[in-house]
Structure 1
Amino acid sequence: MSDAAVLSGLLSRERLLVAPGVYDGLSAAVAARAGVEAAYVSGAAVSAAEGLPDIGLTTVTEIARAIAVTHRQLDVPVIADADTGFGDETNTFRTVRTYEDAGAAAVQLEDQVFPKRCGHLDDKALIPAGEFVLKIRAALAARRRGTLIVARTDAIAVEGFDAAIARAKAYAAAGADVLFVEAPQTLDQVAAIPSAVGAPVIFNVVPGGKSPEVSREQLEGFGYAGAILPGATVGAAFTAMTQALSDIAGGGLPAGQVAGPRALFEAVGLTEWAVRRAPKEPARA
């Protein structure tokens, strides 16, 4: 069964699918060891790992490389953030093909203008809904392996909640497999989205973002098919690095709380690689 078919099944069940964000080989390896059912290659996380803010500066090539690297570590479907498709519908077609070749089971597109901004920052702008429908159709035409197309709208912050629902319904009618209404501002909005859209919907869990805190049980009860956690690994890494380097700057040195070399390398396959190395014959006198 293809990764896309597996992902479709996971999103069709009653239990919420939770896909933590990954952005490189190490974060994907840790996610694999944790037993995740799916993973989310976050454009924001890849941007941060490149030393850039999430304001449309990363390229299709950079994120496709992150998809390929993470996909090698994971035996589960990968949902991949494609921002605005990196241009018009022609660019969107190429993006879907590129992401498929890298191993994505689902490609997420959004209706912001290019270059975009993080969905939980201010001052976003949208393209017309009809223009985004053309991108969805281009994405559907591009896919060759049943890849799911996730259509995201950022309209709540720009046009209001009702307009966001209208856009999401139009995108579903255009053929998007999964819908994503970004940054609902109240718990009532979070609760209303799945039934209002009438199609599979995912929720973006962003602690400290524009949306209220919500539990897995609440999301399941509201009818969400899945939840993505873009900052699950990159946010934890940033917090841990900040603390470690603060301790060092304060005069300390890393102690037992830091993973040793063997534990780190075991996480990325030391044992599996070691058994592939042929034993050396002893040198003859």
Structure 2
Amino acid sequence: MTGLLAASTSTSDKRKAFRAGLASGRIQRIPGAFNPLVARLIQEIGFDGVYVSGAVVSADLALPDIGLTTLTEVAERGRQVARVTDLPVLIDADTGFGEPMSAARTVTILEDAGLAGLHLEDQVNPKRCGHLDGKAVVPAEEMVRRLRAAVSARRDPDFVICARTDAAGIEGIDAAIERAKAYTEAGADLIFTEALHTVADFEKFRAAVDTPLLANMTEFGKSELIPAATLERVGYNAVIYPVTTLRLAMFAAEAGLREIFDEGTQSGLLDRMQHRSRLYELLRYERYNEFDSDIFNFTLGRNQ
């Protein structure tokens, strides 16, 4: 049953792998998974990690990404995803779901859920999507308190605490760089710079900050869609593709539903669907059958 009902890699080993990847000199490519089955696909294809996006958890609940989700909802999705993959899972913890004490509790809950790391952001609570206008950030000192609380609550030293700053689009890149340095002093292991625009912006940030850096390559946002190889050359340690799989799936689902509505049948859609056999392959259906056979392949003797 190893690796069947749950990942075969321990949470501790996944966290160690995440830290080793960030220090490897090779950019860690981390797509978002909108459900556990997508996480399994991400692993099979060969990526370095899995991301759980707050925007995706919100959208999955038919809510906008404005801080309406709860710690319980986010932690449960993180637990579901982390359970099925041997890859480290990084999760979006928004602003920590409250005051610094809440950020501290968030760390303990997400550690217990099997995540490899989380990121906290410096937006005002309730937050907005990082690529929308109208964002506001808290004073740097308040975010430092948020981070110090989070770091103080960490029990596993390999659990990665990432600090996200949204200040570049509000206060400018220089201010965001100063915040990143302060957040590193507060104990952040990784810095997430949101909504930089160009390769030159990413280069400027890298040149000024020694801490490992994470880039966000989300579609239809403020940032150019920069190839991973370019980000690696610039010196970034990780890149997330947070909403990509949800956007792909929702586009396909909408197109298919409209065709069924118009045509009255899905027969013209079959070549655009994942086949039953491929789904069963991802689910490891045969291994479950083998397990059942191994358990039930005995015969009870007659009572004499």
Q: Which residue of 2 aligns with 1:272?
A: 287
Identify the range of structure 1 (213-222 vs 89-98) with the bigger mean alpha-carbon deviation.
213-222
Residue pairs, 1:115-130, within 5 angstroms:
115-130=126-141
Runs of 4+ residues over 6 Å off in structure 1: 280-284
Structure 1: give runs of 5+ residues left out of the alignment: none
More off after superposition, 148-157 vs 266-275: 266-275
Q: Measure how far apart 1:269 and its partner are.
A: 3.0
C-alpha displacement of 1:283: 11
Could you tell me how far 1:33 is from its partner in structure 2?
A: 2.0
Which range is displaced more, 235-244 or 94-103?
235-244
In the alignment, is residue 50 of structure 1 matched against residue 61 of structure 2? yes
SS in 2 for 1:145: coil
Aligned counterparts, 1:1-285, within 5 A? 2-146=13-157, 147-251=159-263, 252-253=265-266, 254-277=269-292, 278-279=295-296
C-alpha separation between the residues in 2 aligned to 1:269 and 1:130?
Answer: 49
**2: CA distance, partners of 1:16 / 1:82:** 22
Take 2:186 and 2:130, find their aligned partners in 1: how far apart are those partners? 22
Deviation at 1:268, TM superposition (A): 2.4
Deviation sequence 1:57-102 (CA, Å, 0-9, x none): 1111111111111111100111111000000110001101010111
- TM-score w.r.t. the length of structure 1 is 0.94
> Are the equivalent residues in 2 in contact too, given 1:111–1:152 (CA < 8 A)?
yes
Distance 1:135 1:52 in 2: 25
Aligned residue identity for 1:230: P
Tell me how far 1:282 sits from its aligned partner.
Answer: 8.8
Aligned residues: 284
SS class of match (1:22): coil
Deviation at 1:22, TM superposition (A): 1.1
Higher mean C-alpha displacement, 19-28 vs 202-211: 19-28
Return the index of the structure with the highest Cα Rg. Answer: 2
Aligned equivalents of 1:47, 1:180: Cα separation in 2: 20
Q: Counterpart amino acid of 1:266? A: E
Partner of 2:8: none
**Conserved in 2, the CA contact under 8 Å of 1:45 and 1:231?**
yes
Name the Cα RMSD after superposition: 1.8
Alpha carbons 1:192, 1:222 under 8 Å: kept:
no
- Tell me how far apart the structure 2 counterparts of residues 55 and 220 of structure 1 sit (CA, whole Å): 31
SS at match of 1:227: strand
AA at the equivalent of 1:221: R
Residues 112-166 of structure 1 show CA distances to partners (whole Å, capped at 9, x for unaligned) of 0111111011111111111111111111111111211000000012111111111
3-state SS, counterpart of residue 163 of structure 2: strand
For residues 202-256 of structure 1, give each alpha carbon's deviation from its aligned partner in whole angstroms, at most 9, with x where no partner exists: 1000121111121112101111011011013112111211221122222141323
Deviation at 1:262, TM superposition (A): 3.7
TM-score if structure 2 supplies the norm length?
0.88
Q: Secondary structure of 1:83's match?
A: coil
CA drift of 1:43 comes to 0.7
C-alpha separation in 1, matches of 2:131 and 2:189: 23
Listed one character per residue, the Cα deviations across residues 170-201 of structure 1 (whole Å, up to 9, x for unaligned) are 10111100001100123321221112122110
Match of residue 5 from structure 2: none
CA contact (8 A) 2:131 2:222 kept: yes
Moved more, 138-147 or 87-96: 138-147
